[in-house]
Structure 1
Amino acid sequence: MSAPVIAPGVPDVAGEPLLEMEHLGIAFGDTVAVDDLTFAIGQGERVALVGESGSGKTVTALAILRLLGDARVTGAVRFEGDDLLGKSERAMQGLRGSKIAMIFQEPMTALNPLFTIGEQIAETIVAHEGVSAQQGRVRAVELLARTGVTDPGKRVLSYPHQLSGGQRQRAMIAMALACRPRLLLADEPTTALDVTIRAQIVDLLLEIQRDEAQRRGMAVLLITHDLNLVRRFAQRVAVMEKGVLVESGPVERIFEAPQHPYTQRLIASRPQRHVTPVLPIAPVLLDAQAVSVSFATKAAGLRGWFRAGRFDAVSDATLNVRQGETLGIVGESGSGKSTLAMALLGLQRTAAGAIEFQGRPLSSYRGREQTDLRSNMQVVFQDPFSSLSPRQTIERIVGEGLALHRPQLDAGARREKVIAALREVGIDRTALARYPHEFSGGQRQRIAIARALVLEPRLLVLDEPTSALDVSIQQQVLTLLTTLQHKYNLGFVFISHDLAVIGAMAHRVAVMQNGAIVETGDVERIFSNPTHPYTRKLLDASLQG
């Protein structure tokens, strides 16, 4: 095993360490996930563990809690001086939740859908403190109130699916804090959240940690690839690459003078703007006037469900996209971004208003013309793992559109076009016979882009295409999209809640709130001088988070 690389001049943990990992190794069969990790966290300290997917961050946290199943774990993990790896499972059950708690990355999968939020929070309190169920429920209400959940007396009776993403994350934090742990492990606690909710969660964690640290010395190990979050939250940072700790030290020193090439690469991976001006004579590809989308809402009655009204998902949206131009659409979850995108593609039956593609109303395309229209308007979704069929090879996935839209091509010609499309996105022909699960997240997104490009579209709708990717992979995908746009003069509708990504990619931006476009204009003007209060709030939250 290789020795850990610790940056010179980094001070040791002040006072007695709360958690110590010495020569920690984690392996799954022949695959080494963590190699010779030596690291410590002091009482009341905020430490960030950063690195890309697969670097070993999450498995390190799970090893602390002994939740890795059949993995081979070597070395030592000491908490308050006791070696956790030598403890019995019964002893670990007493520690989990009471002294060491964890906030998981995706609360919707971490929370039990069959129990209310209050029941799940109270369960931890009852199990570790021996109080009654009623006392546990009262504490659950107090904890939800403390984490900023509105109307906690009502929300304690809600099921996870009845809460927003931000509310579910707050409930997870409440559950983790239920027994006032000494160490809090926070695994990507803000990754799936909007920029404003992300800022709120960071403020909440800072407030709680400072409060608990003053009383009990609670430490936080933050696991993330969000460097803005690290800079704002942590006091010390440790950088992992492929299971090895390559650098650690105070946040200021790591960000201002990183020593290791991998750390330098991570910090330099922020989205860079490389936007070519749109030609004044560029034709309008897509024109939408007064687009609205509404859905019927239902309520429960004595004889079942009945229609109770209508929900306006998109209201009176007007926009256009020219050839070679990127229009960014920003807003929080629920603002109507994706619904508007589906309407622009002609995939919302309830859409009203006028939508034209290349000067013709979408409704005027019939038969073969409609098939051609579909091939000219393609979409790349947020999560490539769920949008790529796990049962089909990459050749079939990328070539599926060709089989439908280019029936005149024989199998050999289709294969050559698939190979060419994959080559465009940096994937070689050896991928043809493989399946999506055999690729990384960034590679899967490249395959999704190849699937859209193989039909040679004029317009590409990109729905949060980089939100699930690491910072360096995100930059690679953005660079790829920019290159492809320049090469083929594509029009992009780029949907995101990440303003840094929109600032790097878009020529113009439309800001959506509650289904309406509240502000639109050139990116430079909107970002430097926003006029709408909601736009200012988004930009302020982005700078904070």
Structure 2
Amino acid sequence: MQNRHEPLESHVPLLEIEHLNVRFGDTVAVEDVSLSIARGERVALVGESGSGKSVTALSILRLLQDAQTSGAIRFNGEDLLAKSERAMRGLRGSDIAMIFQEPMTALNPLYTIGEQIAETIVLHDGVSAAEARKRAVELLGHTGITEPGKRVNSYPHQLSGGQRQRAMIAMALACRPRLLLADEPTTALDVTIRAQIVDLLLDLQREEAQKRGMAVLLITHDLNLVRHFAQRIAVMEKGVLVESGPVEQVFNSPQHPYTQRLLESRPQRAVVPVLPIAPVLLDAREVSVDFRTRLPGMAGWFQSGRFRAVDDASIMVRQGETLGIVGESGSGKSTLAMALLGLQRVTRGAIEFQGRALASYRGREQTALRSNLQVVFQDPFSSLSPRYTIERIVGEGLALHRPQLDIASRREKVVSVLREVGIDRTALYRYPHEFSGGQRQRIAIARALVLEPRILILDEPTSALDVSIQQQVLKLLAGLQKKYNLGFIFISHDLAVIGAMAHRVAVMKNGSIVESGDVEKIFASPSHPYTRKLLNAASGGENSLL
């Protein structure tokens, strides 16, 4: 990503928000927010979940339901809050467009990408279906999708995450809007895809800014993205705009305590050295994992071959050590993790836990092994049963692996481990939906720790969290590792997190480990071109991630 803080050609406001208030019943979501965006300007609206960022953006398009809104939102001098719904429908998509956070839910699964883009063009420009389709193909090509003539006929599920996001951008730009609202457009993407999308948005905005003065309001909690994309930043906390100004000024000299706290929340390295005599807990040598692949044939489905998801991967984890595994989606990280847990059949190679092959564990021994190898998943909301109380969720493993404990002893064990992760005993009788994302992740960690494992595999445990919550979880994990001398396998596409947490790192590409070693040495001087590509994309080509 290139740093492009070019001077603005015009400071005439395209959008003016004055004293905006949004309520849902008795709940105040946005309070007295005032913000302006000039033609051709890129403004970032940042803050944690619940700060009011998305509510503010949706207020501009008047897409909020059951909300009481007051104040003024002027677009090109006209008050949007005073317009009829019919007039707003004419503005949405044509003059003001939006890129949503999760394209898989924003795109209609029943229609092809081309049909959805063409529908917007036909609706607002009144051209023929054939002309709209032709322009849809051009837009897909313009956003960098390969073979746009073929991809125009693809359904959303047939595209990768990066391709779906590009299709969303093509749809948003279909009618050449003057204001583009981008709501967390890169959150779920790999680091290299994220860099490509940011560069794409920058190039498209600069091109459209010259033609029509298109402005962009970027909504995000990714501070690295803000620094490389935006010219001006506005910071929100609990529905209130607490600070705004040029990006470099706010980053270099933040005035509000909340802004200072956000900037300080970037991962900080605090790794305790591993003793040279620390025993090896997990040793995997030349591990390969194959999956059967099938293709449609004349008489149904037939066997066509094998796909190698992991190819001759070798790793080792010692007591008290964190091994980071990085790579893009599809690189084999999670498949390798499942093999290390004994949950995925290994085609070739050997995995040993404390000097004994995983394949040799049977029956009760295998059950005992599982208590020593635990996992924390990326999304705690989907990995925690919504039907169970927190006591049952955390204590479920104890009921299976420690049947000798009575109900009272098991409860005290659950209370103790919840206290370790910062959750008090009042949580016992509550359900996952009653907790925040950060609290749910703490509960997921407690569920894994209650069995006192030797190895904890963490699969993207902080990717869905705000930066300050992320820092809290990382600090918690570092403290638990130091206290219990745990071995961690930390899987992530966030290289800043790996730089903060890991002793060593393994870089995966297409199922193979292309580079591994001490994280500080590799981050400072990577030898493989793919590692250099990942690090350059993560840092924007500027500062070290350590």
| TM-score above 0.5, yes or no | yes
Within the alignment, does 1:243 sit opposite 2:239 as a pair? yes
The Cα of 1:28 is off from its aligned counterpart by 1.3
Q: Distance in 2 between matches of 1:414 and 1:299?
A: 50
Q: Distance in 1 between matches of 2:77 and 2:437?
A: 39
Note the alpha carbon deviations across 1:344-379, whole angstroms, 9 max, x for none: 000013543201111111111112111110111000
Amino acid at match of 2:328: E
**Most deviating of 221-230 and 346-355:** 346-355
Q: Distance in 2 between matches of 1:112 and 1:80?
A: 31
Note the alpha carbon deviations across 1:296-351, whole angstroms, 9 max, x for none: 11111222222222111000101110000000000001000000000000001354
- 1:36 equivalent in structure 2: 32
**What SS does the corresponding residue of 1:102 show, helix, strand or coil?**
strand
Please point out which of 192, 198, 206 is paired with 1:196: 192
Q: Distance in 2 between matches of 1:393 and 1:33?
A: 29
Amino acid at match of 2:487: G
The Cα of 1:410 is off from its aligned counterpart by 1.2
Q: Distance in 2 between matches of 1:26 and 1:418?
A: 41
Note the alpha carbon deviations across 1:442-463, whole angstroms, 9 max, x for none: 1111110000001110000000
Note the alpha carbon deviations across 1:208-263, whole angstroms, 9 max, x for none: 00000011010000000000110100010000000000000000110010000000
Within the alignment, does 1:480 sit opposite 2:476 as a pair? yes
Residues 42-441 of structure 1 aligned to structure 2 (within 5 Å)? 42-441=38-437
Q: Distance in 1 between matches of 2:21 and 2:296?
A: 54
Q: Distance in 2 between matches of 1:113 and 1:23?
A: 39
Residues 446-485 of structure 1 aligned to structure 2 (within 5 Å)? 446-485=442-481
- 1:27 equivalent in structure 2: 23
Q: Distance in 2 between matches of 1:315 and 1:14?
A: 55
**Residues 343 and 351, structure 1, Cα contact 8 Å, conserved in 2:** no
Q: Distance in 2 between matches of 1:86 and 1:401?
A: 57
Q: Distance in 2 between matches of 1:151 and 1:343?
A: 36
Q: Distance in 2 between matches of 1:226 and 1:123?
A: 32
- 2:5 equivalent in structure 1: none
The Cα of 1:14 is off from its aligned counterpart by 5.6
Note the alpha carbon deviations across 1:365-400, whole angstroms, 9 max, x for none: 112111110111000000111111111111111111
Q: Distance in 1 between matches of 2:400 and 2:67?
A: 45
**What SS does the corresponding residue of 1:412 show, helix, strand or coil?**
helix
**Residues 376 and 458, structure 1, Cα contact 8 Å, conserved in 2:** yes
Q: Distance in 1 between matches of 2:10 and 2:136?
A: 34
TM-score normalized by the length of structure 2: 0.97
**Residues 148 and 170, structure 1, Cα contact 8 Å, conserved in 2:** yes
**Most deviating of 301-310 and 17-26:** 301-310
Q: Distance in 2 between matches of 1:307 and 1:519?
A: 34
**Residues 421 and 454, structure 1, Cα contact 8 Å, conserved in 2:** yes
**What SS does the corresponding residue of 2:500 show, helix, strand or coil?**
helix
The Cα of 1:201 is off from its aligned counterpart by 0.6
**Count of aligned residue pairs for this structure pair:** 535
Amino acid at match of 2:208: E
Q: Distance in 2 between matches of 1:132 and 1:392?
A: 54
**What SS does the corresponding residue of 2:343 show, helix, strand or coil?**
coil
**Residues 269 and 501, structure 2, Cα contact 8 Å, conserved in 1:** yes
Amino acid at match of 1:55: S
The Cα of 1:531 is off from its aligned counterpart by 0.8
Q: Distance in 2 between matches of 1:342 and 1:285?
A: 17
Note the alpha carbon deviations across 1:278-309, whole angstroms, 9 max, x for none: 11111110010111111111111222222222
Against the structure 1 CA distance between its residues 479 and 13, is the aligned structure 2 distance closer, same or farther, given a 3 Å change threshold?
Answer: farther
Structure 1 gaps of 5+ residues are: 1-11
**Residues 13 and 41, structure 1, Cα contact 8 Å, conserved in 2:** no
Q: Distance in 2 between matches of 1:69 and 1:246?
A: 26
Note the alpha carbon deviations across 1:467-518, whole angstroms, 9 max, x for none: 1111111111100000000000000000001111001000000000000000
- 1:529 equivalent in structure 2: 525
**Residues 50 and 223, structure 1, Cα contact 8 Å, conserved in 2:** yes
Q: Distance in 1 between matches of 2:9 and 2:245?
A: 10
- 2:3 equivalent in structure 1: none
**Residues 328 and 502, structure 1, Cα contact 8 Å, conserved in 2:** yes
**What SS does the corresponding residue of 1:342 show, helix, strand or coil?**
helix
**Residues 48 and 222, structure 1, Cα contact 8 Å, conserved in 2:** yes
Q: Distance in 1 between matches of 2:106 and 2:164?
A: 10
Against the structure 1 CA distance between its residues 200 and 48, is the aligned structure 2 distance closer, same or farther, given a 3 Å change threshold?
Answer: same
The Cα of 1:91 is off from its aligned counterpart by 1.2
Moved over 4 A (4+): none
**What SS does the corresponding residue of 2:296 show, helix, strand or coil?**
strand
**Residues 10 and 40, structure 2, Cα contact 8 Å, conserved in 1:** no
- 2:440 equivalent in structure 1: 444
**Residues 375 and 456, structure 2, Cα contact 8 Å, conserved in 1:** yes
What's the C-alpha RMSD, in Å, of the aligned pairs? Answer: 1.3
**Most deviating of 241-250 and 299-308:** 299-308
The Cα of 1:16 is off from its aligned counterpart by 2.6
Q: Distance in 1 between matches of 2:255 and 2:107?
A: 40
Amino acid at match of 2:531: T
Against the structure 1 CA distance between its residues 392 and 485, is the aligned structure 2 distance closer, same or farther, given a 3 Å change threshold?
Answer: same
